[in-house]
Homo-oligomer: A and B are copies of this chain.
């Protein structure tokens, strides 16, 4: 069987979650990095040859092109061998993970994504310092969504849906890393979140570590090229 072609960027949270899942599940894949900073995903070539949606991550599996982290996650579960704990059938685990992922998209993912976009990505792409007026709204919104995440999902169990790590935890840690890796402290006022974060990181071990180092490298390399923006951002 052909390896899955995986078009991704380490700067993108969903790409990192899938990269970890693919490696941890030992699914053969060909990693094809796409530069968001160079806008490679926005070109006509990408649209014609990879995916019409100009978004990352994308896979190509058996000539089917698919975009979207949750879509790809479910596709892999149907078509490949993915260890059960990521998306367990027992105790309605799949329904509860689906509920978390749908909730997250409108809450933590949106808040973390907006924060990263406006505090880091847009300033880098536009070579301009971020809008100061917006900054306090972004921070407030992010803190509120982290508080909701704690209250709704980190009250009873070791991980989001129970005693084992699932794709819910993997998506959540990658989302939260977007603001965290550019200087936001997500654990201030959120002690349960801090403990959960450490457990997830430990459980993911070297798979997480590798991807986190790559993400950090991409951030720091880009910042070196536009130091004046980063200085204004402080």
Q: Give residues in A with beta carbon < 8 Å to B.
A: 52-53, 64, 66-68, 70-71, 74-75, 78, 92, 94-96, 98-99, 101-103, 105, 152
Contact status B53-A71, CB under 8 Å = no
Residues of chain B contacted by A64 (CB below 8 angstroms): 92, 95-96
Of the candidates B52, B66, B94, B99, which one forms a contact with A95 in the assembled complex, judged by CB atoms under 8 Å apart? B66
Contact status A71-B52, CB under 8 Å = no
Contact status A98-B152, CB under 8 Å = no
Residues of chain B contacted by A71 (CB below 8 angstroms): 95, 98-99, 101-102
| CB of A52, distance to nearest CB on chain B (Å) | 6
| CB of A55, distance to nearest CB on chain B (Å) | 8
**Residues A105 and B103 in contact in the complex (CB < 8 Å), given A94-B78, A98-B68, A98-B70:** no
Q: How far is the CA of A167 from the CA of B44 in the complex (A)?
A: 30
The binding surface of chain A is classed by DSSP as helix
Contact status B98-A75, CB under 8 Å = yes
Residues of chain B contacted by A101 (CB below 8 angstroms): 71
Closest 5 CB pairs of A and B: A68-B102, A71-B98, A75-B95, A71-B99, A71-B102
Of all chain B residues, the one with the shortest Cβ separation from A51 is B99
| CB of A76, distance to nearest CB on chain B (Å) | 10
Q: How far is the CA of A66 from the CA of B96 in the complex (A)?
A: 7
Contact status B152-A53, CB under 8 Å = yes
Residues of chain B contacted by A70 (CB below 8 angstroms): 98, 102
A sample of 10 more A-B contacts (CB under 8 A), given A64-B96, A66-B96, A105-B105, is A53-B152, A67-B102, A67-B103, A68-B98, A70-B98, A70-B102, A75-B94, A75-B98, A78-B94, A78-B95
